[in-house]
């Protein structure tokens, strides 16, 4: 075999066609990330790590081999909750349909400032076949509660820690920045507070970037968020920088730079067509794999269900496809592009499991 010009993508495609043994046997120097990432993923989950669900702490392996979706909305009204209530029965039906498609865990990305109802998550977890991880978050400046601007970073961090304990949260965020502008001073302070909360608890962090919302979003927005978090002592491997798939950049320069620093990269709006097409996202995934950063890539869809009273984030979503859409809509596009089953498993299961599993520093 002439190996000149043989790329990582060729290896991935060969693996997807069942030719991995020939490749390994004849060219052991090939960058066979696709064949080794799952093993590396297991090795990097530290001893004593747990996944904190709304009902109990479980071992990472208890999630099984199903997909772990780290950025979905199970309870979302798009505003502070007043008298409206989630339809728990409908939510359970949607979650069980997702379970049938191969989803084992969903991490809700809502917070009190966006109308998330923690009791809805608890009821749904008891009645469905999907593990639920709750979060404590402050979405962006327009949703912050009154008085937050006058609080110090430490005061905000302490409140986050108390709420995380009371709600049994297994993650911090989503936290982020306003549309079509750089991170502002107040949002920067809140992001630092989340960093301090992580340092004291060990809880993983998920952010919201403004990629795709307008021309004033800096190309390095994700890196800026990472800089702020690292300034408080956060290690990048505990961070997922969100919505990077909305950055219309075929060369994935921002995504590669984030992954090079050691943070996870969220392609967490797949099937969310408000910004760029899924065809472009598939090409961006392939570019990340070619660059050797498949072990830092995490897929999800940022889906907000059609629960009564809730806001549907993506008007283009066809009826009848809910939380399972990452697996039933986007993953088939990856397979068609030649991505192997092993790589799919890393992007949907192994990688997110590595982020969501943490060693608690506080009860």
Q: HSE on the CB side for 172, CA within 13 Å?
A: 31
Length of the chain equals 363
Nearest one of 167, 297, 168 to 242, comparing CA atoms: 297
Q: Within the chain, which residues score under 70 in pLDDT?
A: 1-43, 76-84, 305-320, 362-363
Q: Which pTM does this prediction carry?
A: 0.87
In this structure, what token pair is assigned to residue 279? 């065809």
Task: State residue 322's pLDDT score.
Answer: 87
Q: Which CATH superfamily is domain 32-356 in?
A: Metal-dependent hydrolases (3.20.20.140)
Residue 233, exposed/middle/buried by CB under 10 A (0-12, 13-18, 19+)?
exposed
- Cα–Cα dist 274/253, whole Å: 21
Residue 91 CB: number of other CB atoms within 10 A? 25
Task: State residue 310's pLDDT score.
Answer: 43
Three-state secondary structure call for residue 46: coil
Three-state secondary structure call for residue 159: helix
For tokens 């392609």, name the residue. 267
- Cα–Cα dist 332/326, whole Å: 9
Strand spans (E) along 55-117: 57-58, 67-72, 103-108
- Cα–Cα dist 351/349, whole Å: 6
Query: With contact defined as beta carbons under 8 Å apart, do 200 and 153 qualify?
Result: no
Task: State residue 138's pLDDT score.
Answer: 95
Task: State residue 149's pLDDT score.
Answer: 95
Task: State residue 185's pLDDT score.
Answer: 97
> Torsion-angle region of residue 262: left (phi > 0), alpha (psi -120 to 50) or beta?
left
Query: Dihedral sign, CA of 284, 287, 291, 293?
Result: positive
């Amino acid at each position: 075999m002439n190996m000149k010009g043989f790329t990582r993508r060729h290896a991935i495609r060969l693996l997807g066609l069942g030719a991995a043994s020939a490749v390994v046997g004849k060219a052991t120097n090939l960058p066979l990330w696709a064949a080794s990432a799952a093993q590396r993923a297991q090795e990097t989950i530290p001893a004593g790590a747990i996944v904190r669900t709304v009902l109990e702490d479980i071992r990472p392996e208890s999630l099984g081999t199903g997909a772990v979706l780290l950025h979905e909305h199970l309870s979302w009204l798009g505003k502070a909750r007043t008298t409206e209530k989630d339809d728990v029965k409908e939510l359970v039906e949607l979650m069980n349909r997702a379970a049938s498609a191969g989803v084992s865990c969903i991490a809700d990305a809502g917070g009190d400032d966006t109308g998330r109802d923690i009791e809805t998550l608890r009821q749904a977890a008891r009645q469905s076949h999907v593990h639920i991880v709750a979060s404590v978050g402050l979405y962006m400046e327009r949703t912050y509660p009154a008085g937050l601007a006058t609080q110090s970073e430490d005061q905000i961090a302490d409140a986050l820690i108390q709420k995380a304990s009371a709600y049994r949260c297994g993650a911090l965020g989503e936290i982020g920045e306003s549309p079509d502008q750089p991170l502002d001073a107040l949002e920067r302070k809140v992001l630092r507070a989340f960093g301090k909360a992580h340092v004291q608890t060990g809880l993983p962090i998920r952010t919201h970037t403004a990629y795709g919302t307008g021309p004033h979003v800096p190309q390095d927005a994700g890196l800026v968020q990472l800089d702020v978090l690292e300034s408080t002592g956060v290690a990048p491997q505990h961070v997922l920088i969100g919505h990077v798939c909305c950055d219309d950049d075929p060369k994935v320069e921002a995504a590669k730079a984030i992954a090079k620093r050691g943070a996870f990269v969220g392609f967490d709006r797949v099937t969310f067509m408000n910004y760029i097409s899924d065809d472009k996202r598939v090409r961006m995934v392939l570019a990340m794999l070619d660059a050797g950063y498949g072990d830092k890539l995490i897929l999800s869809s940022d889906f907000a269900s059609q629960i009564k009273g809730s806001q549907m984030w993506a008007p283009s979503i066809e009826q009848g496809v809910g939380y399972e859409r990452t697996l039933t809509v986007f993953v088939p596009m990856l397979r068609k592009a030649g991505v192997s089953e092993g790589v799919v498993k890393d992007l949907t299961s192994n990688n997110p499991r590595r982020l969501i599993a943490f060693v608690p520093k506080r009860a």
